[in-house]
Amino acid sequence: MSEPRSPKEARRLERLKQGSRAARDVRPREPSAPRERPNRPPPAVGETGGTSDEPTVVLSRRAMERLAHGHVWIYRSDIAVPETASGGQVVRLADERGWFAGKAFYGSKSQIAVRLLTHEDEPIDEDFFARRISQAIALREAIRPDPERRRAGRLVHGEADLLPGLVVDRYGDCLSVQTLIEATDARRDLFAGLLERLAKPRAIIERNDVRARAYEGLEQRKGMLRGADPGPIEFLEGNVTLAADLLGGQKTGAFLDQSENRIEAGRYARGRALDCFTYGGAFALQLARNAERVTAVDISEPAAAQGRASAARNGIANVEFKVANAFDLLRAESEGGERYQTVVLDPPAFAKSKDTVEAALRGYKEINLRAFHLLSPGGVLMTNSCSYHVDDATFERTVLAAASDARRSVQVIERRGAAKDHPTLLGVPETRYLKCLILRVP
Ligand code: SAH
């Protein structure tokens, strides 16, 4: 009899050997015959395309269920790793019976030890990554073509583009790359070469000076991967010109996940507007289109300075940048009886980990409560949370509690998320971190 080609077929053959299910069920077990399963050699699936330098990582039943539910991360506690496996390698995945379950990046330091690349038994080589990057580029071209390359957007969004640990942002004709895990870091020259060929950028900057790399045992690093430092790059968001210094700037660039929400906020702006946690003023400058005057608040002086420069560059005169703690400013203004027709709250992630969720919710409630006090009748609040430890339902409950305390009814105009070039994976809730509510108080 030929070898089974799938678990299902193997079970069918097993049944055939033992007779029908009914017959087997009534046949008494022979107590003396030990079950051989533990020592049975793994079935001969997955021999094609497999290469000997890919160790096999065995997944627990729970890990297999996670994959079956569409997740792509497996934790270290759910795997058995052969000694030959080293961090950054591509590994084969198998269930406890030896059946092939996919291929993945293996990380030796992170708690997320396995990040799925494919369910197929296919070679993970340059062609594979070229196909994945081309797919990512094709999605962006379908969403919002930018042939003149005057805008900015995310080109590769890590696991959500089936390229775990790789993030690529495009600003005009330059790329900013982050290789966040051992496996992508080890291949960063390969990715730079592919991006050069497929996206034809003028320069590729590496911004690997991000904290997340510490979990992977990777050092902080930034520099040029291809081309020369382009200096500050101007790009369009809606009709506003923004600038990002990809290599020299404090952070990796703009908060591109909010780009569509900022343009949307501009549509709703009226009268006197307030933009809290403004950073470089990207929301404020959109609000300025339709508002009479805008107050933009950030605790960081360099951020405010950048905002003022952007306003000047765009000839926008109705935005005032204030350096202040937004919590203090919101309290002072609401106690002082100030009124606004439009308020934007876009704070940093208050919940950086599971342990800080409760404190984070108090923070969200506080700023939203103040915002509801400040809104005049018919006013619009755009409130955001980018904490992925706070899910949609919890965030909405918190905002509702704030509205109730302020004795305001709330209409939901829109529930939004990150821009479309930051797709999410249906089976991976972690990819859906940004929550944006557009609310109106009647
Ligand atoms: N809204 C911005 C992104 C905001 S990022 C945009 O669309 O581009 C969060 C900002 O909040 C950072 O610039 C940070 O300096 C600022 N920030 C953090 N804590 C703050 C506080 N307590 N008061 C005011 N600003 C704060």
Output the pLDDT for position 253. Answer: 79
Pocket test for ligand 1, best of 262, 298, 344 (most atoms within 8 A of CB): 298
Output the pLDDT for position 250. Answer: 78
Minimal-distance CA residue to ligand 1 atom 15: 300
Minimal-distance CA residue to ligand 1 atom 9: 348
Residues 267 and 290 sit within 8 Å (Cβ to Cβ): yes
| Atom nearest to 255 CA in ligand 1 | 8
Output the pLDDT for position 9. Answer: 66
Identify the residue whose tokens are 């890990």: 63
Output the pLDDT for position 53. Answer: 85
Identify the residue whose tokens are 């706070």: 390
346 Cα: distance to centroid of ligand 1 (angstroms): 7
Pocket test for ligand 1, best of 171, 251, 257, 279 (most atoms within 8 A of CB): 279
> CA-to-CA distance for 117 and 183, rounded, in angstroms?
11
> CA-to-CA distance for 219 and 214, rounded, in angstroms?
7
391 Cα: distance to centroid of ligand 1 (angstroms): 20
Residues 93 and 135 sit within 8 Å (Cβ to Cβ): no
Q: Residue 386 catalytic? A: yes
348 Cα: distance to centroid of ligand 1 (angstroms): 6
Those residues with Cβ within 8 angstroms of residue 364's Cβ, 6 or more apart along the chain or in another chain: 347, 350, 385, 390, 395, 398, 399, 402
Output the pLDDT for position 38. Answer: 46
pLDDT tens profile 241-295: 999 999 988 777 789 999 999 999 999 999 999 999 999 999 999 999 999 999 9
Give the residue ranges of the chain where pLDDT is below 70. 1-52
Minimal-distance CA residue to ligand 1 atom 5: 348
> CA-to-CA distance for 423 and 25, rounded, in angstroms?
49
Ligand 1, pocket residues at CB < 6 Å = 254-255, 258, 262, 277-280, 282-283, 297-300, 303, 325-327, 346-348
CB-facing half-sphere around the CA of 265: CA atoms within 13 A: 31
Q: Provide the whole-model pTM.
A: 0.88
Minimal-distance CA residue to ligand 1 atom 19: 299
Tokens at 369, concatenated: 């409560």
Q: Count Cβ atoms below 10 Å from residue 354 Cβ, excluding itself.
A: 8
Active-site residue (options: 174, 276, 386, 436)? 386
> CA-to-CA distance for 434 and 416, rounded, in angstroms?
8
Output the pLDDT for position 26. Answer: 38
Output the pLDDT for position 46. Answer: 42
| Atom nearest to 348 CA in ligand 1 | 9
In this structure, which long-range contacts are made by residues 389-396, counting pairs with CB atoms below 8 Å and at least 24 apart in sequence? 389/351, 389/352, 389/353, 389/354, 389/356, 389/357, 389/360, 390/350, 390/351, 390/357, 390/360, 390/361, 390/364, 390/435, 391/429, 392/435, 394/357, 394/361, 395/364, 395/435, 395/437, 396/437
